[in-house]
């Protein structure tokens, strides 16, 4: 089986020195990759320079991306040629459009006009007391997967922060249906600390539970290989 | 001699999963630390979890910080007890205050009123097509150093992007005077690529030049130890 895994977090540039980053170490994706490699599967890992990665392995191919745009361009051909896609990467949901000072925002006739402006400086000046950054939603990668390859087995991830189990399950099952995923790995940031990582793997009618990153990796491996 | 060095780049949190990061690998700070350690100096390195660091060494102490606030709290007592401070860290110049959708900005009577609002959600929703992030200037670490310890030998860093040599020197010498630094290391992002790193070390009347990160580290070591 050919397994495609994403890990780490994307960064969207504000200018040549600053960016908006989604924090993610990449360690869960690393464990998932290792679980599949150990059993002789081909693994393609799409990750970032900063993320932790598995050791070199004859069955492992690594692609390095930076932002959502490079992620999309890298993923599309890979999704078409893999059997399973495990999308554990923390993907930026907004990307910078324009950064300016408070004065320009106050002077604008319509605030939305500023969305059509662009910074021309390579490094935006840091003289003003306040800055205002306008950001635009990025394309949702997970929603494109089935249009690229309707047959791929998709495992999505949903990370919420400090919500009830009911809300976490409801949001995960909404994602399951909308993105035609086989499973969603649902977790809450308040229940992640180092190797301790409480998570639920859900489909329409089942819930599987795990308490460490390694256990999550093994659970995903078992469920994916049971079904195929 | 007791040498205090900063390296890497700070991250200011937007919410529990997103942050604004200044990109910096920490490798120049690592080389500088190694140059001083090799000659038997005590080195204290203030850096980030993500930055590359020297190998363990009996004369090396490492402190890990995240954002400007934790950097300031960590540095103040250290600046008071060291002889030399080499500030190569890329420090965030703005920190998030409030993030909201376009509608709330358009509806505000005065845009500046939004600077008094605060996000209450742990993870800001990603439903809206646009988001607006209000940011406030952070304290300039380098400007506080001499108020903490008037006798410390201060080496500041100035990174500009795609400017003339004249402009780079003018900005560096302004920083030299304003912050009472012994030297400013002035460099342009367009002249940094991997180990290749063109930089000037300036005081009021001298300019020293180097072309690699290792050469910069050695140059700083030589100038600092020549003077003390």
pLDDT, tens digit only, all 228 positions of chain A: 999 999 999 999 998 889 999 989 999 999 999 999 999 999 999 999 989 999 999 999 999 999 999 999 999 999 999 999 999 999 999 999 999 999 889 888 888 888 988 888 777 777 889 999 999 999 999 999 999 999 999 999 999 999 999 999 999 999 999 999 999 999 999 999 988 999 999 999 999 999 999 999 999 999 999 854
Q: Is A50 on the interface with B (CB under 8 A)?
A: yes
**Rounded Cα distance, A215 and B66, in Å:** 29
Asked whether the beta carbons of residue A126 and residue B94 sit closer than 8 angstroms, the reply is yes
Structure tokens at A216: 């999550």
Q: Residue B19: which of A21, A121, A160 has the nearest Cβ?
A: A21
Identify the DSSP state of A220: H
Q: Which domains does chain A have, with CATH numbers?
A: 2-93+139-225 (3.40.50.10300), 94-137 (no CATH)
Query: Quick one: which H or E segment has residue A164?
Result: none
**Chain B residues close to A189, C-beta within 8 Å:** 16-17, 122-123
For the stretch B5-62, pLDDT in tens is 999 999 999 988 899 999 899 999 999 999 999 999 999 999 999 899 999 999 999 9
Sheet of A183-193: strand order equals A60-64, A42-47, A2-6, A84-87, A153-160, A183-193, A196-202, A207-212
Asked whether the beta carbons of residue A189 and residue B115 sit closer than 8 angstroms, the reply is no
Asked whether the beta carbons of residue B22 and residue A18 sit closer than 8 angstroms, the reply is yes
Q: Residue A161: which of B122, B131, B136 has the nearest Cβ?
A: B122
Q: How far is CA B35 from CA A135, B48, B63, in A?
A: 42, 20, 19
Q: Residue A130: which of B105, B115, B131 has the nearest Cβ?
A: B115
Q: Is A22 on the interface with B (CB under 8 A)?
A: yes
Helices (H), chain B: 27-38, 68-80, 102-107, 141-148, 165-178, 213-227
The reported pLDDT for the residue numbered B228 is 45
Q: How many CA atoms lie within 13 A of A124 on its CB side?
A: 23
B11, B12, B20, best to mutate vs chain A, most A CBs in 10 Å: B20
**Chain A residues close to B11, C-beta within 8 Å:** 21, 23
Contact A60, A54 (CB under 8 A): yes
Contact A139, A32 (CB under 8 A): no
Contact B157, B88 (CB under 8 A): yes
**Rounded Cα distance, B43 and B86, in Å:** 11
Q: Among A33, A19, A136, A15, which Cα is nearest to A82's? A: A33
Asked whether the beta carbons of residue A122 and residue B19 sit closer than 8 angstroms, the reply is no
For the stretch B103-155, pLDDT in tens is 889 888 888 888 988 888 777 777 889 999 999 999 999 999 999 999 999 99
CA angle B118, B123, B124 (to 5 degrees): 60
Phi-psi region at B40: left, alpha or beta (left = phi > 0; alpha = psi -120 to 50): left
The reported pLDDT for the residue numbered A227 is 53
**Rounded Cα distance, B205 and A96, in Å:** 41
């Amino acid at each position: 089986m050919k397994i495609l895994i994403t890990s780490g977090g994307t960064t969207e540039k504000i200018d040549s020195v600053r960016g908006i980053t989604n924090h993610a170490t990449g360690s869960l994706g690393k464990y998932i990759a290792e679980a599949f490699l150990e059993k002789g599967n081909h693994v393609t890992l799409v990750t970032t320079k900063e993320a932790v990665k598995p050791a070199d392995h004859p069955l492992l191919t690594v692609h390095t991306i930076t932002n959502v745009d490079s992620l999309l361009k890298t993923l599309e051909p890979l999704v078409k040629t893999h059997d399973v896609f495990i999308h554990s990467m923390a993907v930026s949901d907004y990307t910078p459009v324009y950064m300016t000072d408070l004065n320009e925002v106050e002077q604008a006739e319509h605030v939305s006009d500023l969305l059509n402006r662009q910074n021309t400086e390579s490094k935006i000046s840091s003289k003003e007391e306040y800055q205002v950054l306008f950001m635009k939603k990025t394309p949702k990668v997970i929603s494109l997967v089935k249009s690229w390859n309707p047959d791929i087995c998709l495992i999505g991830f949903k990370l919420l922060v400090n919500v009830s189990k009911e809300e976490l399950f409801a949001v995960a099952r909404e994602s399951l249906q909308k993105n035609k995923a086989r499973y969603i790995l649902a977790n809450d940031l308040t229940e992640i600390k180092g190797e301790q990582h409480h998570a639920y793997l859900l489909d329409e009618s089942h819930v599987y539970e795990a308490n460490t990153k390694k256990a999550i990796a093994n659970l995903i491996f078992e469920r994916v290989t049971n079904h195929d």
